[in-house]
Amino acid sequence: MFLLVRRYTDHRTDPNSTARHVLWEGLYHWSYADGRELARFLVWAIAVIVVVVLVFSIYLLLRNNHRERKVLPYRKTYDVDGVAKRKAILGQMYDERFGPEEVRHGARYYVIAPEQNLPTTYLYDLFREAGTDVGGAEVKK
């Protein structure tokens, strides 16, 4: 709420003033002591917020590092069954399209014919037909 008063900043009437003329008319502003109290409170509040954010950030950093070193290396973070299905589907497709695995791995130089190139969505469509999705989620039939 603003008080509509004429505010003089004459150093003789206002001990907190350094100016010798009218700053503005119609809008009251706080004195220097009030401003100092507000500034002190704001600095304190911002310092507390910074400390809380810093402590929370350090906690999350340590938690993440612990999970990365101690938990995640020993836990499967992917769908093991889905990967096995997709590997089987890909192995069968490679055998049909490029020949048996022994021949492919035993050849030092292999030229792929243009008709053997894979279309853009070929693997995605192949996984969908087999009932498994690319992301590992099962497709409902």
pLDDT in tens for each of the 141 residues of the chain? 344 444 444 445 555 555 555 555 555 555 677 777 888 899 999 999 999 999 999 999 999 999 999 998 898 888 888 889 999 999 999 998 888 888 888 888 878 888 888 888 888 888 888 888 775 455 555
Q: What is the reported pLDDT for 19?
A: 57
- Please indicate, yes or no, whether residues 90 and 109 belong to a single structural domain of this protein: yes
Same domain? For 69 and 102 the reply is: no
Q: Tell me, yes or no, whether 25 and 49 share the same domain.
A: no
CB 96 within 8 Å of CB 118: no
Q: Identify the pLDDT of residue 134.
A: 72
Q: Write out the residue range of the structural domain in which residue 61 sits.
A: 36-75
In a domain, 141, yes or no: no
Residue 135 lies in a domain: no
Residues 71 and 89 in one domain: no
Q: Are residues 70 and 106 in the same domain?
A: no
User: Cα dist. 5→26, 34, 59, 60 in Å?
Assistant: 5, 18, 52, 53
Output the CA torsion sign for 39, 43, 48, 49: positive
Q: Judging by beta carbons within 10 Å of its beta carbon (0-12, 13-18, 19+), is residue 133 exposed, middle or buried?
A: middle
The predicted pLDDT at position 119 comes to 87
pLDDT at site 3: 42
124 and 96 both lie in a single domain: yes
Same domain, 43 and 17: no
Residues 53 and 24 in one domain: no
Task: Output the pLDDT for position 48.
Answer: 98
* Co-location of 22 and 49 in the same domain: no
Q: Are residues 121 and 86 in the same domain?
A: yes
* Number of structural domains found in the chain: 3
Is 140 within a domain? no
**Rounded-to-integer distance, Cα 28 and Cα 110, Å:** 87
**Do 69 and 86 sit in the same domain of this protein?**
no
Looking at the domain assignment, is residue 137 inside a domain?
no
